[in-house]
Amino acid sequence: MNAPTKLPQPAKEKLVVIGNGMAGCRAVEELLERDPDRYSVTIFGAEPRVNYNRIMLSPVLAGEKTFDEIVINSAEWYAENGIELVGGDPVEQIDRQAKSIIAKSGRVEPYDKLLIATGSDPFIIPIPGNDLAGVVTFRDLDDVDKMLAAAQQGGDAVVIGGGLLGLEAAHGLSLRGMKVTVVHLMPALMERQLDEAAGYLLRQELESRGQTILTSANTKVIHGVEGKVVGIELEDGTKVKADIVVMAAGIKPSTSLARSADLECERGIVVDDNMVTSDSDILAVGECVQHRGTCYGLVAPLWDMCRSLADYLTGAPNGYEGSVTSTKLKVSGIDLFSAGDFSGGDGCEDIVMRDAARGVYKRVVLKDDKIIGAVLYGDTADGNWYFDLLKKEEDVADIREGLIFGQAFASGGALADPNAAVAALSDDAEICGCNGVSKGKVISCIAKGAHSVDAVRSTCKASASCGSCTNLVESLLALTLGDDVQTGPRTLCKCTSFTHDDVRRLILEKELKVIPEVMQELHWTTPEGCASCRPALNYYLLCAWPGEYEDDEKSRYVNERLHANIQKDGTYSVVPRMWGGLTTPDELRAIADAAEKYGARTVKVTGGQRIDLFGIKKEDLPAIWGDLNAAGMVSGHAYGKALRTVKTCVGSEWCRFGTQDSTGLGVKIERMTWGSYMPHKFKIAVSGCPRNCAEATIKDFGVVCVDSGYELHVGGNGGIHVRATDLLCKVETEEQAMEYCAAFIQLYREDAHYLERTAPWLERKGLDWIKSQLFDDPDAIKNYAKRFRFSQKFWQVDPWANRAGGAHKDLHSHLAEVRPLSMENA
């Protein structure tokens, strides 16, 4: 008897695992660890290879790792543990009656317990051309091989999807020498993991590495020639050349096998807390499952699930309760971390730190003194610490002050108080890196009388440039003066420590061109700003960068977004422009028709010499504008922080006292200035003689005609605080009057704070300052006027015509209409 004889053993239960991926193998590992003899295991895998670390495919693509380096379990492991691996033979059917599975090869394998770990499938966007050669997904090693083959030819790659996977694919292809364009449906990259600010920094970094990033970009079709991909076309008609297209638009749980076996599935295979499906002998784990309504696409939950599954299968169930996840982007040189819930909400508090010089953005979200979320960009050293505090639900009240500075700082006992930390600095420690100001210098400057941040900035320059050390300067003020610190001028809003003037100056100095950039560079303490700063920044940017800055409608007040005045009942009023207060029978007829057609409940003549139609519904606005356009009228901007109207009297054409053609000049000025956005509303009037029938001396800019020319008056207001204008100067010709008008407006536009009318602005700055700005330099008037006219090139477009032509339909139409069941059935 030479044949080896096996000792009789208790019959092992037969466990069949479908899926040789990370979840399937990990589950088996956990089982073996608990009870190596309990189950006889057979693993079926679709890929013809051993188990590898799928999340490390990105470094393989990028050439930073080889396949061998990412293998988790070698062939020996399977052999040593008596596991049968059936590779390259996908399971095609589950026979629950017979308790067996049938593989593609026809092999039938009976089971006592079956574990489904089929993972997820890439989401293939249902668009024409998605089956062309050269369109690949990014899921397994075969996909990586296809991408590497394409990269060897060089050329252009398009990655559809700006999430974690897509960006990693883009990074790899870019390192392999391809010219990469990332096409992302949403407005910000990785919007599920990052907030707007971090998404913006990421985008900047990727663009600086030569990738083209297209956001809010909906791919319409993939074009091919002779069955091979040549490019993509977006919904808006943009075409991008491509030799390879990577679909990385997301994943969906792979449930088809489970569905065909009639297991309960929703988005994923539904499992209970022990990872058991609707069939008590069938379990499921990993990305294919749905647990308490959640499907996971990250690796950490999978480890938790496998532990619970193994506990259950070895008779010691403990129940899986779901996972809190964190994300790190595996793109070399980009440090990015996100965890938990950072969408904010009631009782949530944000602690935000921005360091523009280092490109760092950190945000920790607290609720009830516990961390519930964190987003870190640029410096992720403390990511794991925050994540740990988050998972443990640790009370952070005691270390809160220093929390954002990281573990080393917050745990440093007394140093947890930022003031104490600053106090501990030596006198020669640098406070302001931009201007090389030491702590000792700041303190001596405070001692000499600089008792506010602004005073410090204007004397020793500390925190006057990038502002990132403002909090240090504030600490030093508090330390040195105690309660004597003077609070500086009002900041723009609660989101920033900068004043309006600082923000305007820094936008120009640092060439900040979009709102998220301003917020990052100027250390905004909120992720998206608020309803005060967003409209202000939008105005400052459009004033600073005419023709270049793209208006952000989301940051406009409703009236400017809908180009009409909202009324207390939610309807709108519509005011067509009447140049200089002139109208015609045809225009009046069209206004009358529109008033009737759209049910204007009130028709009123305004103080600005035009007609206001009240009670127009949001949905009817484009149509009424279309009708008014057809009669030759355009928007009166009666709703805008903008040039409203130029009021006139009849002047020398009819009036026996008139000295000049005030109506004609008014029309010319209105033609020159209409459409211009301003810090606040702006009214002009032209009176034909000193009787001043057009009330020019309570306008922002008023012209009073006299025999010898034109008096120019500025800074008047007829509102709450009536203020008569100051006389700016007197000019001789109409051309001069217009030139000075343009120059004054531009000075106001470039200097005033948002929502500051000319009257308070003039009182704040003083008439002398305004005169010196306009008259000291003989070219000043010309230069201001020139800048005004340049800006007007981009704004003298009737916004009504755009909307009437169908632009922004979504702003005016309802989503749908809901009718109660009783009425539906009626």
The residue (of 10 and 820) whose beta carbon lies closer to other proteins is 820
The residue (of 55 and 811) whose beta carbon lies closer to other proteins is 811
The residue (of 12 and 267) whose beta carbon lies closer to other proteins is 267
Helices (H), 35-122: 57-61, 75-80
Return d(Cα 305, Cα 307) in angstroms, integer: 5
Asked if residues 40 and 307 have their Cβ atoms less than 8 Å apart, the reply is no
Residue 817 Cβ vs other proteins, minimum distance, rounded to whole Å: 5
The residue (of 65 and 561) whose beta carbon lies closer to other proteins is 561
Return d(Cα 709, Cα 571) in angstroms, integer: 45
Residue 529 Cβ vs other proteins, minimum distance, rounded to whole Å: 6
The residue (of 218 and 499) whose beta carbon lies closer to other proteins is 218
Q: Which of 645, 686, 679 is nearest to 762 (CA)?
A: 679
* Type of residue found at 563: H
The sign of the dihedral angle between the CA atoms of 304, 163, 180, 359 is: negative
Residue 497 Cβ vs other proteins, minimum distance, rounded to whole Å: 18
| Residue 337: partners with Cβ closer than 8 Å, 6 or more residues away | 326, 327, 328, 374, 375, 376, 377, 380, 383, 387
Residue 613 Cβ vs other proteins, minimum distance, rounded to whole Å: 19
Residue 196 Cβ vs other proteins, minimum distance, rounded to whole Å: 5
End-to-end CA distance of the chain: 88
Residue 339 Cβ vs other proteins, minimum distance, rounded to whole Å: 15
Helices (H), 263-298: none
Return d(Cα 277, Cα 702) in angstroms, integer: 79
Residue 75 Cβ vs other proteins, minimum distance, rounded to whole Å: 40
Asked if residues 219 and 183 have their Cβ atoms less than 8 Å apart, the reply is yes
Return d(Cα 389, Cα 531) in angstroms, integer: 32
Return d(Cα 214, Cα 228) in angstroms, integer: 23
Q: Which of 411, 447, 409 is nearest to 427 (CA)?
A: 447
Residue 657 Cβ vs other proteins, minimum distance, rounded to whole Å: 44
Task: Measure Cα distances from 179 to 124, 150, 308 in Å.
Answer: 23, 12, 45
| Residue 784: partners with Cβ closer than 8 Å, 6 or more residues away | 742, 743, 744, 746, 747, 750, 774
Q: For 768, phi and psi rounded to 5 degrees?
A: -60, -40
Task: Measure Cα distances from 44 to 47, 90, 141, 284, 492 in Å.
Answer: 9, 6, 17, 14, 63
Q: Which two tokens stand for residue 188?
A: 């910000």
Residue with tokens 């003194």: 369
Residue 749 Cβ vs other proteins, minimum distance, rounded to whole Å: 22
Asked if residues 183 and 158 have their Cβ atoms less than 8 Å apart, the reply is yes
The residue (of 223 and 561) whose beta carbon lies closer to other proteins is 561
Residue 526 Cβ vs other proteins, minimum distance, rounded to whole Å: 7
Residue 486 Cβ vs other proteins, minimum distance, rounded to whole Å: 26
The residue (of 357 and 558) whose beta carbon lies closer to other proteins is 558
The residue (of 266 and 509) whose beta carbon lies closer to other proteins is 266
Residue 809 Cβ vs other proteins, minimum distance, rounded to whole Å: 10
Residue 530 Cβ vs other proteins, minimum distance, rounded to whole Å: 5
Binding site for other proteins (CB under 8 A): 186-188, 191-192, 195-196, 218, 267, 292-293, 322, 342-346, 526-531, 534-535, 553-559, 561-562, 566, 568, 570, 618, 810-811, 813-823
Q: Which of 145, 146, 144 is nearest to 134 (CA)?
A: 146
Return d(Cα 199, Cα 660) in angstroms, integer: 58
Pairing of strands 179-183, 251-253: unpaired
Q: For 715, phi and psi rounded to 5 degrees?
A: 80, 25
The residue (of 541 and 743) whose beta carbon lies closer to other proteins is 541
| Residue 657: partners with Cβ closer than 8 Å, 6 or more residues away | 688, 689, 691
Give the total residue count for the chain.
Answer: 826
Number of Cβ within 10 Å of residue 53's Cβ equals 17
Residue 212 Cβ vs other proteins, minimum distance, rounded to whole Å: 21
Q: For 363, phi and psi rounded to 5 degrees?
A: -140, 125
Residue 400 Cβ vs other proteins, minimum distance, rounded to whole Å: 20
Asked if residues 691 and 707 have their Cβ atoms less than 8 Å apart, the reply is no
The residue (of 26 and 563) whose beta carbon lies closer to other proteins is 563
The residue (of 605 and 818) whose beta carbon lies closer to other proteins is 818
Cα angle, residue 790 at apex, residues 784 and 791 outer, rounded to 5°: 90
The residue (of 224 and 615) whose beta carbon lies closer to other proteins is 615
Asked if residues 170 and 180 have their Cβ atoms less than 8 Å apart, the reply is yes
The residue (of 484 and 553) whose beta carbon lies closer to other proteins is 553
The residue (of 346 and 428) whose beta carbon lies closer to other proteins is 346
Residue 820 Cβ vs other proteins, minimum distance, rounded to whole Å: 5
Residue 388 Cβ vs other proteins, minimum distance, rounded to whole Å: 21
The residue (of 352 and 672) whose beta carbon lies closer to other proteins is 352
- With the CA atoms of 811, 812, 818 and 823 taken in that order, what torsion angle do they form, in degrees rounded to the nearest 10? 180
The residue (of 447 and 807) whose beta carbon lies closer to other proteins is 807
Helices (H), 424-490: 439-447, 453-460, 470-481
Which residues does residue 354 pair with via DSSP β-bridges, in sequence order? Answer: 361
Residue 518 Cβ vs other proteins, minimum distance, rounded to whole Å: 15
Asked if residues 374 and 363 have their Cβ atoms less than 8 Å apart, the reply is yes
Asked if residues 27 and 314 have their Cβ atoms less than 8 Å apart, the reply is no
Asked if residues 174 and 159 have their Cβ atoms less than 8 Å apart, the reply is no
The residue (of 419 and 802) whose beta carbon lies closer to other proteins is 802
The residue (of 527 and 651) whose beta carbon lies closer to other proteins is 527
Residue with tokens 């080889």: 66
